[in-house]
Amino acid sequence: MLLFALIILDSCNDSNISNITQQPTLTDYKIGEKWVWKYKGVTTEGVVRSDGTDTREIVNFNGALGITIGKDTIPVTEIVKPDDSETPKYDWPLEVGKNWKYENNWTSQDGTTGNQSQNAEVLSYQKETVKAGTFMAYKIKYTGKITNSRGYSADETEVWLYAPEVKNFIKLTQNQGDFHYVEELIEYIKPD
């Protein structure tokens, strides 16, 4: 009987694992937790528009948990509060097969305003390998359009790999008109 159970378990594919993931909470984060992503964006003509790293770290921020984002530090309570939007980036809880609409209005540092409107679908939950390691991750595909106040308009496809273990995405692949962008987690530090 035990051998039969082991054979059945062994035959299960990671992509068939049924899992539902809730949004991380404040208690899921610890001081010293750190993420480093490498990113690069290139046009179809080979022009590099962006190339660098992005680091975020959980720190003590006025006696509470904060997360560094560039030169800023914001309270972790801001990133874990429920998104009440009808069109969120992540529609919690995450589970394979879930669909929703994502919309985002933004303003860049130079004052340009823009809008993203995408349909999102969770395609799978399986092992994914990036430079930082191998993690169980949801593959979420976003397809739609991006526009801005300077007359730019392009079809857009994004694939995000979100790993519950690291409470963040481990890879983003984006195709937007003539622009291709990849961001990958290259280091993850989880304090003991």
What's the pLDDT score for residue 9? 37
What's the pLDDT score for residue 67? 97
pLDDT < 70 regions, the chain: 1-18
What's the pLDDT score for residue 18? 53
Global pTM?
A: 0.87
Q: Which residues are registered as beta bridge partners of 75? A: 66
Q: How far apart are CA 25 and CA 97, in angstroms?
A: 24
> Which domains, ranges and CATH numbers included, belong to the chain?
38-53+86-189 (2.40.360.20)
What's the pLDDT score for residue 59? 97
| Amino acid found at 55 | T
CA 78 and chain centroid, separation: 16
Polymer length in residues for the chain: 192
145 in Cβ contact with 154 (< 8 Å): yes
- Structure confidence by residue, pLDDT tens digits, 120-130: 999 999 999 99
What's the pLDDT score for residue 19? 83
CA 84 and chain centroid, separation: 18
How far, in Å, are 24, 60, 75, 118 from residue 157 at the CA level? 26, 37, 31, 8
